[in-house]
Structure 1
Amino acid sequence: MTTPAWIDLDGAANMRDVGGIPTEDGGQVQPGRLLRSDNLQELSPKDITTLLAHGVSDIVDLRSQVELRLTGPGPLTRVTSLTHHHHSLFADDDVAVEDALVLPWHDRVEEERDANHWTSHYLGYLAERPDSVSGALDVVARSEGATVVHCAAGKDRTGTVVALALSVAGVSDEDITADYVATTERIERIVERLAAVPAYADNLRGRPLSDHVPDPETIPRLLEAVRRTAGSVPEWLHGVGWSDDDLERLRRRLVEPD
């Protein structure tokens, strides 16, 4: 298994480059193409310098409109060299009530704490916001530099989009799962950071850390469900309007050296 390429920052706990992950044809995902992260609201000036040194040109924010309103603009919005793309994965993203913040871990009951629960959530993103999933992947495909895909924890919404991207690139389910599960190494820090933010604190209060640990069965079930219903991840993307050229653009962007 590939060792996660962590990018250690003062203001984020779950930033890593997926470059180096092998593809099934003997290649690998190229570094500096796709980075994944948790919330970017607290980045320091040093952190921003680090990201720019990694060649970041585009930011894909998968959080909801409510999250954006409650947390306000982050420091990266002031960096003029970056292009920001908002692609919420929540169907009810037009909710205007300020306290209507719903997150993937919201309202879970004890008997649902398994991979089926998370897989259902992730399939919900594909069913309810295929436009946002497609849009996020299109940014990765067309970016001139590295794209950072992030949400709040960098696990669920980000994990879904990154899993699809890696599948198109030709990465095995086993290695896609290993990338997803790598978040476990940082989960305590991730939850501590979010619990200190008023917008997320109520959703986290009283929940054990084990609620947030990535389940290694979740991603295989997600990918199997996509194959069962659409045939493959590329065929799912065909179904939401992607052409063969679009798919090849994403694959080349992720795996071919400059």
Structure 2
Amino acid sequence: MTSTSPDDLRTGRWLRLDGTTNTRDLGGLPTTDGGTTAFGRVLRSDNLQTLSDDDVRRLVEDLHLRDVIDLRTTAEVLLEGRGPLRAVEGVTHRHFSLLPERGHHTDVFAVEEDEVPELPTGWAETLLPRQTTEADEVEPPAVRSYLGYLHHRPENVLAALRTIASGDGAAVVHCAAGKDRTGVVAMFTLAAAGVPDEEIVADYAMTADVIDALVAKLRQSPTYAEDMTRREVAVHTPRAETMRRLLEILGERHGGPLGWLEEHGFGAGEQAALRARLRD
């Protein structure tokens, strides 16, 4: 088969793959100093379980994918099973759930599971995570969820960013839908690259363009079908004001996303390394 150039895979920043509906490049975004983020460094995506053989070839050979950063819960990973990229030599998978989890599966990729273990009661509620803190109860539900990630699993937010910063080749960050958990990690990544807030908001909101196809895809999986079916598509649709409010809160409490990173031990040196990953 003839090799496909990276440009042939794209419609703007979207990547056209057979097995995903919400894969896009964090390249091509303007920065506050007049630059532009580079294509082919960091991708954001929905679940990668249904990638075709051609998708895998394109990602690995044409886009030089080397790191997969999986933000799903342990239950999601085990129930969905091994995706096709797991079999590819040279592609490293890292698992950083953004939710508090019970059980002992702290590194789901470190061992092979013969069967899905007994899962905690109510584990499915973490598929569209709603953990929050009492102080944030006045905020909209999605904003509360995102603040919950930062409150409950700051170490995994940082671990995901460190994996991106230290990578060689392209990295893809994903969860189930590629909008909530992935959206928060993408926000910090773009902020470190110098992308202004409104461009970060616009990137987050792009998932709304594919939400019908995305929900339809997730309804095909027994893992996600119930949650996708019992809520209207509008509930799953990301809104610009959600990310705008998250950025406002980070500004009020921490001086912005970079201030939050600094306060949690991701200092100037690591921020510069993350910035360099997206800048030429």
TM over 0.5: yes
Maintained 8 Å contact 2:161/2:185: yes
- Cα RMSD of the aligned pairs, angstroms, is 2.0
Instruction: Give the 3-state SS of the residue equivalent to 2:67 in structure 1.
Output: strand
Deviation at 1:115, TM superposition (A): 7.7
**Normalising by structure 2, what TM-score?**
0.84
The equivalent position to 1:50 in structure 2, one of 22, 46, 58, is 58
Instruction: Give the 3-state SS of the residue equivalent to 1:46 in structure 2.
Output: helix
Amino acid at match of 2:53: P
Matches within 5 A, 1:154-169: 154-169=178-193
2:239 maps to what in 1?
Answer: 215
Amino acid at match of 1:134: L
2:262 maps to what in 1?
Answer: 238
* 2:113 matches 1:91: no
Once the two structures are aligned, what percentage of the paired residues are identical? 42
**2: distance between equivalents of 1:238 and 1:207?**
37
**1: distance between equivalents of 2:157 and 2:126?**
17
**1: distance between equivalents of 2:253 and 2:139?**
19
Amino acid at match of 1:154: G
1:66 maps to what in 2?
Answer: 75
Amino acid at match of 2:27: G
Q: Which runs of 5+ in 2 are unaligned?
A: 1-10, 105-117, 131-137
Maintained 8 Å contact 2:70/2:97: yes
**1: distance between equivalents of 2:212 and 2:93?**
28
Aligned in 2, Cα 1:43/1:124: closer, same or farther, shift over 3 Å?
Answer: same
Instruction: Give the 3-state SS of the residue equivalent to 2:140 in structure 1.
Output: helix
Deviation at 1:104, TM superposition (A): 5.6
Matches within 5 A, 1:124-203: 124-203=148-227
Amino acid at match of 1:54: L
* 2:106 matches 1:82: no
Maintained 8 Å contact 1:61/1:86: yes
Maintained 8 Å contact 2:127/2:224: no
Deviation at 1:188, TM superposition (A): 0.8
Amino acid at match of 2:265: G
Deviation at 1:236, TM superposition (A): 1.1
**1: distance between equivalents of 2:230 and 2:94?**
33
Maintained 8 Å contact 2:73/2:126: no
**1: distance between equivalents of 2:76 and 2:126?**
9
Maintained 8 Å contact 2:99/2:129: no
Maintained 8 Å contact 1:4/1:179: no
Deviation at 1:232, TM superposition (A): 2.1
Deviation at 1:170, TM superposition (A): 1.0
Paired residues, what number? 249
Aligned in 2, Cα 1:10/1:115: closer, same or farther, shift over 3 Å?
Answer: farther
1:111 maps to what in 2?
Answer: none
**1: distance between equivalents of 2:29 and 2:209?**
17
Maintained 8 Å contact 1:65/1:94: no
Deviation at 1:244, TM superposition (A): 1.5
Deviation string, structure 1 residues 211-251 (Cα, Å, up to 9, x no partner) = 11111101111111112112222221122212211111111
Query: Which moves more between the two structures, 65-74 or 200-209?
Result: 200-209
Q: Which runs of 5+ in 1 are unaligned?
A: 108-113
Deviation at 1:93, TM superposition (A): 5.0
Instruction: Give the 3-state SS of the residue equivalent to 1:102 in structure 2.
Output: helix
Deviation string, structure 1 residues 195-214 (Cα, Å, up to 9, x no partner) = 11001112122311111111
